[in-house]
Structure 1
Amino acid sequence: MTARSPDLFGQPRGLAFLFGTEMWERFSYYGMRALLTLYMVKYLLLPENRDRVLGLDALRGIFESVFGPLDAQPFASQIYGSYTALVYLTPVLGGYIADRWLGHRRTVIIGALLMALGHFMMAVEHLFLFALLALILGNGAFKPNISSQVGTLYAPGDARRDRAYSIFYVGINLGAFLAPLVCGTLGERIGWHYGFAAAGIGMLIAIAIYHFGAPDLPAEMPRAATAAPRAPLTRDDWRSIGSLGLLCVFVAFFWATYEQQGNTIALWADGYTDRAVNLLVWRGEVPTTWFQSLNPFMIFAFTPFVVALWARQSRRGTEPSTLVKMSLGCLGVALGNLIMVAAAYEAGATGKASPFWLFAYFAIVTMGELYLSPTGLSFVSKIAPASLLSMLMGVWLLTNFAGNFLAGWLGSFWSGMDKGAFFLMIAGIAGAASVAIFVFDRVLRPRSLL
């Protein structure tokens, strides 16, 4: 019997299995996320339902002790922001546990099982907060260790690594594209709990793919090697870690503005967008959650063109540096929100805005994401000391923690602000982050860190 080739389409075979695993995990995550704010505002936090949730009154008391009295929408935004923030805090712990004790593979499996349990628990209203806790802990174990395995498929200096992360990012967004169409439609049209259960099934498929692809995944370090004393970090290592930490502060503001998509942008699509469709074959309203498929669809539609552009710029010696790409990413979110300022003006005049404003918003914001997010993952895999790779991948994900927490707080202003002023505020924050990262690049480039 002929041994199968270690490569597939010019990349290690393991990349295909990591791609599939991440695709279905993201299907489950974004399927649940597409429904979360609408589920709380339209059902769970209504007076007749909120007493069913164990611990909800205590959580409301905690939030109100900090932010004052909260109506249903601000409370939902705070829960949404806290949940999406904490799923990016726990990866620091998950990465540390994998690096020191369990290894990447075991930690990924534990995280995947916890997430599957959490999605199925979402179908039981009483267990809502416990389901969120299981998802938070599961994501913390899963996320940094699946991402770091992509980098370990390649030898140091392998030029395919950057392309691999872009391919991997397509897998993330393919799952995110399908999730609102499947889970969102089930949740909005049939019942919220059916949408959450579909997310759980997606997580089980991810586990099966990862298990099947185990022979082609990077080998774990021997236990003795893992437990051995590590070489002390060099001056360059500490300088790289310090630069990464400072950059995280600026990138957090990108995520604070970008992550309005599942929060206030979902509310805009639901309440201020003309969703009526009148076609020869079908008439009706487009489900609100379908708009959340636009961003991931555009990710895998635009990625080949962005990668080709960077390759062409590289041949000409004009490819932007890593940090300039990130600065442009923040600028894209700023411009996208300026488009929504115009949409708010139309809605104020006519009652409902055209859905094409949202198409334009998602197109610009998606380009911004492509310039920042996969570039950041590749950047961490390049500069992190090998002994701290998973933990520093988790530290990088802390930018999402801080950004999502801030996104929830910003979203709590939605119901009390003029919508044009709200989008202008978000654009201003993203624009300031763009300028800060650009200046950071000017300062660091002479030291050849990036």
Structure 2
Amino acid sequence: MSSLPNSGEFLGHPKGLFLLFGTEMWERFGYYGMRAILVLYLVAMTQDGGFGWSNADALSLYGTFTMAVYLTPLFGGWLADNVLGQRKAIIIGGILMATGHFIMGVPHAAVAGMEENVFYLGLALLCLGNGLFKPNISTMVGDLYKEGDKRRDGAFTIFYMGINMGGALGPLVAGYVAAVINWQAGFIAAGIGMVISVVMQLVLSKKYLGDIGVVPAAKLSAAQSSSGTKEPLTKVERDRIKVIFTMSVFSIIFWMGFEQAGGLMNLFANDYTDRMLMGFEVPASWFQSLNSIFIIIFAPVVAMIWLKLDKREPNSPVKFAIALVFLALGFLTMMLALITEGSGQGSIQISMMWLVLFYLFHTLGELCLSPIGLSMVSKLAPLRLASLLMGIWFLCTAVANKIAGFVGSFIGEGQEAMNNAMGIFIGLGATALLSATAMYLLSDRLVDWMHGAEGKHEPHTQEHILAEELEVAAVKQ
């Protein structure tokens, strides 16, 4: 078992927490900064430094990339647990991601004739690095505290706030640099954030984390004996597994719509939105910061609402249904935008406020759904199947990202894109509403199948609920 470091405290928490806070913040800065300009770079004309791809090709690649981002942690987590240990996995993953960012920042002139091959190499390194980094950094937060330490919920609240700060700052900085210099400079700016993350771990981890994460988890638990007998699943366990599968499938619907943000909606902001504000043209990539900003603002509000409702707080399936309703409201907002401001002749330019409302509704939906996911699997899964079922949850999220890219690719080009966009918004909104209705009708049966696990052993305090709401960032790519 890892010994806890004795490096002092800051704001009532171990200083190691703030090292992990900074490590994750700068990594998310790099990732979300890169993601905010990725599709825009792919569709930019070659004379503007881009690849000149069609919207369909760009969104298809985006869907494949974000799918891979969710699949690689399944392998990265296994490597960390059995071979590398969390600390080595984080450092190796961070170096791979930084290298990927910088490779994407190589000027086209320096790799003439091989631009796309070099670009693919950068994306591949980002996927591999993310697989090693993502599943390991969050788990070390809990290792800073002894079992039963009441400060743990507050620690995750602080940690997840750092994730969202990185997610908010990355698109603002990388997007601005890309807009005023060039696309490659934007990727390099993202890479610099990743380098800061790695350097923090290399220089400070020994002092502030001690030996936490050094030894692979499998070796730490090797001393624990097991009976070796494999007992069949009980009826309660089978019912709970049915709940996990059902809600995992419904989560595909939510993430399929939600993940239009970095693809279709990024292009919509770039091509069909009036982004002039007091003489300044707001970079399209800046809208990618809204989700993280809204989480920081509204997570405490949502936590307070659940606390005030107390025993009337909706159960997990009903929260899923509410999330899907918010998803539908986001697409209804865009439908209204096209109806009210898209009826004129020529190029359509809707107000930025429609996009702000779109991201607000989707963030509120995320705050209703995302905290439930990991908590649900950990509460309901039989211990011997916990990792497998957690993998199923992430697999469904990966599938949703690929479907999101496929659906968004039907946007088309030019003026026809508006008619196609309306069709996509209607389709996604209607699917979300139908799914919300189905989930609500199934909610009582699903709660019965949980066999009392709903809300069990969970402190109903504002600090705990706030930690859950902020946990949405932990399952983002």
For the aligned pair, the TM-score class normalised by the smaller chain equals 0.7 to 0.9
Shift of 1:42: 0.8
CA distance in 2, matches of 1:388, 1:205: 37
The answer on whether the counterparts of 1:96 and 1:391 sit within 8 Å (CA) in structure 2 is: no
- What is the correspondence of 1:49-448 to structure 2 with a 5 Å cutoff? 72-124=54-106, 125=108, 126=115, 127-153=118-144, 163-211=154-202, 212-214=204-206, 215-216=208-209, 218-219=212-213, 220=215, 221=217, 223=219, 225-226=221-222, 235=234, 240=240, 243-278=243-278, 283-313=279-309, 316-350=310-344, 351-383=348-380, 393-415=390-412, 417-446=419-448, 447-448=451-452
| Inter-CA distance 270–208: structure 2 relative to 1 (3 Å threshold) | same
Q: Which of the numbers 3, 14, 17 marks the counterpart of 1:15?
A: 17
In terms of mean alpha carbon deviation, does 388-397 or 35-44 score higher? 388-397
Q: After superposition, give the CA deviation of every residue in 1:418-446 in whole Å (9 maximum; x if it has no partner).
A: 33222111212323343344345322312
CA distance in 2, matches of 1:437, 1:159: 34
The answer on whether the counterparts of 1:148 and 1:393 sit within 8 Å (CA) in structure 2 is: no
| Inter-CA distance 411–372: structure 2 relative to 1 (3 Å threshold) | same
The answer on whether the counterparts of 2:81 and 2:218 sit within 8 Å (CA) in structure 1 is: no
CA distance in 1, matches of 2:290, 2:50: 32
Percentage of identical aligned residues: 41
CA distance in 2, matches of 1:48, 1:210: 34
The answer on whether the counterparts of 2:410 and 2:420 sit within 8 Å (CA) in structure 1 is: no
Q: What amino acid maps onto 2:56 in structure 1?
A: P
SS of the equivalent of 2:349 reads: coil
SS of the equivalent of 2:70 reads: coil
Shift of 1:199: 0.9
CA distance in 1, matches of 2:382, 2:11: 29
Q: After superposition, give the CA deviation of every residue in 1:360-405 in whole Å (9 maximum; x if it has no partner).
A: 1111111111222233234445555667766655543323211110
CA distance in 2, matches of 1:115, 1:48: 22
The answer on whether the counterparts of 1:148 and 1:381 sit within 8 Å (CA) in structure 2 is: no
CA distance in 2, matches of 1:298, 1:104: 31
CA distance in 2, matches of 1:112, 1:239: 40
The answer on whether the counterparts of 2:317 and 2:446 sit within 8 Å (CA) in structure 1 is: no
SS of the equivalent of 2:351 reads: coil
Q: What amino acid maps onto 1:216 in structure 2?
A: L
Residue 465 of structure 2 corresponds to none
The answer on whether the counterparts of 1:248 and 1:398 sit within 8 Å (CA) in structure 2 is: no
| Inter-CA distance 186–48: structure 2 relative to 1 (3 Å threshold) | closer
The answer on whether the counterparts of 2:66 and 2:398 sit within 8 Å (CA) in structure 1 is: yes
The answer on whether the counterparts of 1:272 and 1:347 sit within 8 Å (CA) in structure 2 is: no
The answer on whether the counterparts of 2:334 and 2:358 sit within 8 Å (CA) in structure 1 is: yes
Q: After superposition, give the CA deviation of every residue in 1:149-183 in whole Å (9 maximum; x if it has no partner).
A: 33444566666555544443322221111111100
| Inter-CA distance 168–134: structure 2 relative to 1 (3 Å threshold) | same
The answer on whether the counterparts of 1:326 and 1:371 sit within 8 Å (CA) in structure 2 is: yes
The answer on whether the counterparts of 2:30 and 2:189 sit within 8 Å (CA) in structure 1 is: yes
Aligned residues: 422
The answer on whether the counterparts of 1:327 and 1:435 sit within 8 Å (CA) in structure 2 is: yes
The answer on whether the counterparts of 1:346 and 1:352 sit within 8 Å (CA) in structure 2 is: no
Shift of 1:328: 2.0
Q: What amino acid maps onto 1:301 in structure 2?
A: I
CA distance in 2, matches of 1:15, 1:326: 31
SS of the equivalent of 2:277 reads: strand
SS of the equivalent of 2:331 reads: helix
CA distance in 1, matches of 2:124, 2:142: 29
Aligned-pair RMSD on alpha carbons? 3.1
Residue 468 of structure 2 corresponds to none
CA distance in 2, matches of 1:340, 1:252: 21
The answer on whether the counterparts of 2:374 and 2:390 sit within 8 Å (CA) in structure 1 is: yes
In terms of mean alpha carbon deviation, does 429-438 or 327-336 score higher? 429-438
Where in structure 1 are there 5+ consecutive unaligned residues? 52-70
In terms of mean alpha carbon deviation, does 145-154 or 389-398 score higher? 389-398
TM-score (norm 2): 0.79
CA distance in 2, matches of 1:38, 1:89: 24
The answer on whether the counterparts of 1:99 and 1:391 sit within 8 Å (CA) in structure 2 is: no
CA distance in 1, matches of 2:237, 2:135: 20
Q: What amino acid maps onto 1:300 in structure 2?
A: I
| Inter-CA distance 439–223: structure 2 relative to 1 (3 Å threshold) | same
CA distance in 2, matches of 1:383, 1:163: 24
SS of the equivalent of 1:88 reads: helix
TM-score (norm 1): 0.84
CA distance in 2, matches of 1:43, 1:341: 28
CA distance in 1, matches of 2:299, 2:312: 19
CA distance in 1, matches of 2:98, 2:224: 34
SS of the equivalent of 1:92 reads: helix
Shift of 1:253: 1.6
Where in structure 2 are there 5+ consecutive unaligned residues? 109-114, 455-477
The answer on whether the counterparts of 2:49 and 2:182 sit within 8 Å (CA) in structure 1 is: no
Shift of 1:118: 0.7
CA distance in 1, matches of 2:356, 2:33: 20
The answer on whether the counterparts of 2:39 and 2:62 sit within 8 Å (CA) in structure 1 is: yes
